[in-house]
Amino acid sequence: MALQALRSSGVAFRKVLSHFPDELSLAFAYGSGVFRQAGPNSDQKNAMLDFVFTVDDPVAWHSKNLKKNRSHYSFLKVLGPRIISSIQNNYGAGVYYNPLITCDGRLIKYGVISTSVLIEDLLNWNNLYIAGRLQKPVKIVAMNENIILRSALDKNLRSAVTAAFLMLPESFSEEDLFVEIAGLSYSDKSPEGQFTQLMALPKTLQQQINRIMDLPGKNRDVEETLLQVAHDPDCGDVVRLGLSAIVRASSIRQSAKGIFTAGVKKSVVYGSWKLHKMWKGWLRKAS
């Protein structure tokens, strides 16, 4: 029964993709519309489907999508595909979202990101917006044979393992880890081992740790700071602070961009929908 449901959902996701230009290097779905949430009141059937489309040439893709689905865009559609692509790449977290779209009788939201921007985020954690999403359960709907992208996806998960291991206590169970890192082997947490792991982290996280730990006037290089952190008993907390700084900044920028890409009306409606969803979640937990 579960296998049949999985197959039918895969068909439904591919049917959604048929409404869009097909030049996608990666397309995945995520969220409560894809994976059943805990709780008796979870409504997977009527939940909004969330997609991310990765494209090699955003200008060409948006040009074709404007012809097929012009109504999906806010007032920015009058500026054309080049301006839309510029806004996508240069502001926020490198993603252009079109929310509250009705497709095949389902409400969907889709984000568009450049393949090169995604690869940079996967490797270096520039903002951990889509890279962070890909560390959680997602449903891959389409993917081409881009070896560099596939390698970056694997590197992102390995980096997640490293960061999670640094933040875990001395002993832990498999339940403390995400499914992607359930096979992680155990070792003693020596300063030398932690320094090796810190040096293996994506460069943006290393730089954030350096900003947090570097004293005014010291201007130490990243490697010197990481060596100090490796000997700090609160090493995991420092890594956690660095991650929070990356995610907080990218989320604020992306949310601000959403007002323009979605349009004011859709932003208000979508914001209200998210608040309503959050409120229902609180009520379920309280009951």
In a domain, 93, yes or no: yes
Under 8 Å between Cβ of 194 and 228: no
Residue 59 has pLDDT above 60, yes or no: yes
Condensed to tens digits (0 to 9), the pLDDT of residues 129-142 reads: 899 888 888 999 99
The winner for highest mean pLDDT among 97-106, 231-240, 241-250, 253-262 is: 97-106
Output the pLDDT for position 143.
95
In a domain, 235, yes or no: no
Residue 4 has pLDDT above 70, yes or no: no
In a domain, 116, yes or no: yes
In a domain, 19, yes or no: yes
Residue 285 has pLDDT above 60, yes or no: no
In a domain, 155, yes or no: no
The winner for highest mean pLDDT among 242-246, 247-251, 255-259 is: 242-246
Residue 182 has pLDDT above 50, yes or no: no
Share of the chain residues as helix, strand and coil, in percent rounded to the nearest 5: 60, 10, 30
Condensed to tens digits (0 to 9), the pLDDT of residues 23-51 reads: 999 999 988 788 776 555 455 666 789 99
In a domain, 165, yes or no: no
Q: Domain residues for 70? A: 2-149
Residues 6+ apart with CB under 8 A from 17: 24, 27, 141, 142
Which token pair is 36? 């059943």
For 119-245, list the strands marked E by DSSP: 139-143
In a domain, 141, yes or no: yes
**Distance of alpha carbon 245 from alpha carbon 266, whole angstroms:** 28
Output the pLDDT for position 80.
96
Residue 249 has pLDDT above 50, yes or no: yes
> What's the domain count of the chain?
1
Residue 271 has pLDDT above 70, yes or no: no
Could you tell me the CATH number of the domain that includes residue 38? 3.30.460
Which token pair is 157? 């998960």
Output the pLDDT for position 1.
42
The residue that leads in pLDDT, 236 or 61, is 61
Residue 281 has pLDDT above 60, yes or no: no
In a domain, 167, yes or no: no
Q: Looking at residue 218, what DSSP letter applies?
A: T
